[in-house]
Amino acid sequence: MSLYGKGVTNINRLCKLFRTGLRPCRFLSTTVSSKGKLDLSGIFPPMPTPFNQDESIAYDKLEKNVALWDKVPFRGLVVQGSNGEYVYLSTEERVELVKRVREFLPSTSDKLLLAGSGCESTKATIQMSEKMAAAGADAVMVVTPSYYKPGMKDKALHAHFTAVADKSPVPVILYSVPVFTVIDLSLNVIVDLAHHPNIIGIKESGGDITKIGNIVHQTQGLDFQVIAGSASFLLATLQIGGVGGVAALANVLGKEVCELQRLFIEGKLSAAVDLQKQLIAPNSAVTKDFGIAGLKQVMEWKGFYGGPTRSPLQPLPEAEVSKLRKVFVESGYL
């Protein structure tokens, strides 16, 4: 049996929203009763944060990038996923980015805005979630806290996500990314959290397809959505019951990543498999091989503004730029 009872009532949740002056979700029914009201089916690019050469945020370049992404059939945009260098941003910058992206999206756009609100402490994560909801986020994506790794046992993580979901004015998406946090959010914790009325899904970036399949299987009937955290295992996630993906590669090959999901939905599995294979090398290049600096370099080649990273991240040496370009040329994307 789930550890959750009825949770926060709809009336109390809505009253709190207006007492605190927070912005209701664009879909009011989502704020009142999150479960099952926010469909995550589709592809989301985790947007890199554009910096000027002095490392200030280049909001004019962000506006240009958002306009280009809005033309791609994405389900929505993610602000401050790992590719957004959010750990290097101040609280004010993080909130302002969400506000600006909401402003830059046309009022007629049906794209969702997901915002990474995770912080190390539960209190700070709750506060950040409230601020991002007020700034325009439709849902928040909460990364696993990890600095005090020995203390981040199942009980601590369960309590953290429960407290955040209890207080968040918008739906919560769990974000498990062990390559950065070193902590792999356990299956037992994920399945139990799936019962929470304000937790609607998980972005699973670990790449363990067995675990992803178990999550899907054990959360059937709970209105809990699983999205792949990388284009490299997007097709496998869709085949096993996932609904979409948040993929770094989508920032530069958005149409192709969306096409992969379209082919799957239409039952064109042979073509989907071929496209998945073609995307693996470019995906590796902008993630584990060359990282955020590599992703930003490819953005420049593809007509976006990439710009520099914020230190201590370093730009790519020329030799690595050449290797990166070769990957995209040989894959047919440059």
- For residue 35, what pLDDT is reported? 53
Which pTM was predicted? 0.89
- For residue 129, what pLDDT is reported? 98
* Choice among 35, 111, 131, 203 that is catalytic: 203
**Which residue ranges of the chain lie beneath pLDDT 70?**
1-36
Q: Is 71 designated active site?
A: no
- For residue 37, what pLDDT is reported? 76
- For residue 12, what pLDDT is reported? 35
Average of per-residue pLDDT values in the chain: 91
pLDDT digits (tens, 9 = 90+) for 289-313: 999 999 999 999 999 999 999 999 9
- For residue 31, what pLDDT is reported? 35
pLDDT digits (tens, 9 = 90+) for 131-175: 999 999 999 999 999 999 999 999 999 999 999 999 999 999 999
Secondary structure of the chain as H, E, C letters? CCCCCCCCCHHHHHHHHHHCCCCCCCCHHHHHCCCCCCCCCEEECEECCCECCCCCECHHHHHHHHHHHCCCCCCEEEECCHHHCHHHCCHHHHHHHHHHHHHHCCCCCCCEEEEECCCCCHHHHHHHHHHHHHHCCCEEEEECCCCCHHHCCHHHHHHHHHHHHHHCCCCEEEEECHHHHCCCCCHHHHHHHCCCCCEEEEEECCCCHHHHHHHHHHCCCCCCEEEECCHHHHHHHHHCCCCEEECHHHHCCHHHHHHHHHHHHCCCHHHHHHHHHHHHHHHHHHHHHCHHHHHHHHHHHCCCCCCCCCCCCCCCCHHHHHHHHHHHHHCCCC
- For residue 219, what pLDDT is reported? 97
